[in-house]
Amino acid sequence: MAAADLTTHPGHLARRLQQAHYLLWNTMVSEEITSPQYAVLNTLVDEPGLDQRTVGERVGLDRSTIAEVISRLSRRGLLDKVRDPEDGRRFLLRLTDEGVRTHRKLTLRTARMNQVFLAPLTSDERTLFFDLIRRVADAAEGLRNPGESLAAPR
């Protein structure tokens, strides 16, 4: 059997893109704050007072991952967790002043990093690229709990 052409495997290409993004992120944006942590900060800038579950849904993180991200950001003093007065089991999240300053700094760095990351594409290609990967990512959200029909053959 011949080797598969991995240039036609979306997972392989997505992993390579992720590796490039990770390298650029650590070099140009932050070695301390991860991209998912930035996504949480970014969400709370626009919508302060969201609960943890909602923030996780907004940024596409599962329950255990968002809990860890929130915990790390809280320990760094970048966000506050306040018990919801209407539901004592829930915490509402808000950025601290340091969280707002960190978000502002990272946003500037992220914009520069994205320019480098997308440099091989023209403006029109960037628009198409975002449209296509957004469509695939949105469709993939439905695969978080795959049914039996998606199980690998035995």
**pLDDT confidence of 148, banded at 50, 70, 90?**
very low
Q: Are strands 79-84 and 87-95 parallel, antiparallel or unpaired?
A: antiparallel
Residue 146, both tokens:
């795959």
pLDDT number for residue 116: 97
- Dist CA 99 CA 119 (whole Å): 30
Predicted confidence at residue 147, as pLDDT, reads: 56
Q: Where are the alpha helices (DSSP H) in the chain?
A: 10-24, 35-46, 52-59, 63-75, 97-117, 123-141
Residue-level pLDDT at 37: 98
Q: How far apart are CA 72 and CA 33, in angstroms?
A: 9
pLDDT in tens, 71-127: 999 999 999 999 999 888 898 999 999 999 999 999 999 999 999 999 999 999 999
The continuous run of DSSP H or E covering 95 comes out as strand 87-95
Class of domain 29-139: mainly alpha
Q: Is the pLDDT of residue 144 over 70?
A: no
- DSSP letters along 31-55, please? SSS-HHHHHHHHHHHHSTTEEHHHH
pLDDT digits (tens, 9 = 90+) for 1-34: 999 999 999 999 999 999 999 999 999 999 999 9
Amino acid at 21: H
Is the whole model's pTM more than 0.95, yes or no?
Answer: no
